[in-house]
Amino acid sequence: MYIAKETRYDKMKYHRCGASGLLLPAVSLGLWHNFGSNGNFDNMVQMCETAFDNGITHFDLANNYGPVAGSAEENFGRILEKSLGIYRDELIISTKAGYDMWPGPYGNWGSKKYLVASLDQSLRRMGLEYVDIFYHHRPDPNTPLAETARALDGIVRSGKALYIGISNYNKEQTIAIAGLFQEMGTPFIINQRKYSMFVRDIEKDGLKDYAAWNGIGIITFSPLAQGLLSDRYLNGIPENSRVRTDGRFLKEAAITQETLNKVRALNALAKERGQSLAQMALAWIIRDGDITSVLIGASSAAQILDNVGMLENTQFCQEERDTIERILA
């Protein structure tokens, strides 16, 4: 029988999510990869238990995570039943809807029909009565934004979610839906966006500053640029890397000599800081306090422990900041 460590809250840092009362761990665990039907269930259990034992209370899913779509939620439901479920009141569980899930015109995008049906399916797969955060996974160019906002507001009022989030919304889209949520009194607290040293769109479009000024949390995914900001590619492309086994998100053409030179220079700085490159890249994301949480993906419990180790040094002096900018320029 699994018993969580009594020391699980000793080292993790928790940040207030926007202007809400909710605290999220600085590091959250995403179940995008390695929790599908092709994964090893015992390894999934070990990763989730290790995460919780080290203060990671937030587990982030989506209806389409797999493969196959829905299988990550099903496996997480099995993990809750096996061990973590007794700690439900200490967990933040989030899921999303917005990408293609089932045939026909009602299994995609942002209509009320799709969002309500998808969340009902997600709750059944996980064996839950509610999720803590329910996200709209991507903007829908065809459904009226007011319909999507009212659907999300209604989901909270139904008791099936405590808070509302959005994902992949840029600054202008965030401003638009935030205004609707404010009129309805919806507990909209967070936007999930891609962010790393190599992908800084939330700085360029102004979302990072806007969210900080307006009480909206930001949680970031792909903080290691699909593994580029780790030691995996320091000596070229390993045969078992995601580039070789699954080229959907990281293309071999993206790993140029210029990119590898930047990775190696960043790795040298990380060593000077007493960190792995992955630890420094994660710490860099929360350097200013404007990012609520960093979503990590993992393939092993050891990887989770290494990532959490970044909390030992999250401060960057001005010289280090300038060095990073010069490397990335």
How far apart (Å, rounded) are the C-alpha atoms in residues 77 and 246? 26
pLDDT average, residue stretch 71-97: 98
Give the pLDDT band of residue 327 (cuts 50, 70, 90): very high
* Per-residue model confidence as pLDDT tens digits over 126-135: 999 999 999 9
The amino acid present at 121, given as its one-letter code, is: Q
pLDDT average, residue stretch 163-190: 98
Determine the pLDDT at residue 240.
Answer: 63
* Per-residue model confidence as pLDDT tens digits over 292-305: 999 999 999 999 99
In a domain, 7, yes or no: no
- Owning domain of residue 23: 14-225+285-300
* Per-residue model confidence as pLDDT tens digits over 26-59: 999 999 999 999 999 999 999 999 999 999 999 9
How far apart (Å, rounded) are the C-alpha atoms in residues 190 and 167? 8
- Concatenated DSSP letters of 213-278: HTT-EEEEE-TTTTTTTSGGGTTS--TTSHHHH-TTSS-GGG--HHHHHHHHHHHHHHHHTTS-HH
Determine the pLDDT at residue 258.
Answer: 92
Percentage of the chain beyond pLDDT 70 is 95
In a domain, 295, yes or no: yes
CB 76 within 8 A of CB 85: no
> Structural domain tally of the chain?
1
Determine the pLDDT at residue 15.
Answer: 98
Query: CA nearest 208: which of 79, 33, 231, 196?
Result: 196
* Per-residue model confidence as pLDDT tens digits over 243-283: 655 656 667 777 889 999 999 999 999 999 999 999 999 99
In a domain, 257, yes or no: no
In a domain, 56, yes or no: yes
Q: What is the CATH number of the domain that holds 23?
A: 3.20.20.100
In a domain, 262, yes or no: no
Determine the pLDDT at residue 248.
Answer: 61
Per-chain mean pLDDT for the chain = 95
How would you write 104-166 as a 3-class SS string? CCCCCCCCHHHHHHHHHHHHHHHCCCCEEEEEECCCCCCCCHHHHHHHHHHHHHCCCEEEEEE
Determine the pLDDT at residue 245.
Answer: 56
In a domain, 327, yes or no: no
- Supply 169's token pair: 């919304």
- Supply 287's token pair: 């350097």
* Per-residue model confidence as pLDDT tens digits over 211-238: 999 999 999 999 999 999 998 888 777 7
How far apart (Å, rounded) are the C-alpha atoms in residues 182 and 168? 20
Is 4's pLDDT higher than 60?
yes
How far apart (Å, rounded) are the C-alpha atoms in residues 293 and 16? 10
Give the pLDDT band of residue 23 (cuts 50, 70, 90): very high
In a domain, 114, yes or no: yes
Query: CA nearest 27: which of 293, 247, 248, 297?
Result: 293
Largest CA distance in the chain: 55
Determine the pLDDT at residue 254.
Answer: 75
Give the pLDDT band of residue 91 (cuts 50, 70, 90): very high
In a domain, 60, yes or no: yes
* Per-residue model confidence as pLDDT tens digits over 187-205: 999 999 999 999 999 999 9
Query: pTM higher than 0.85, yes or no?
Result: yes
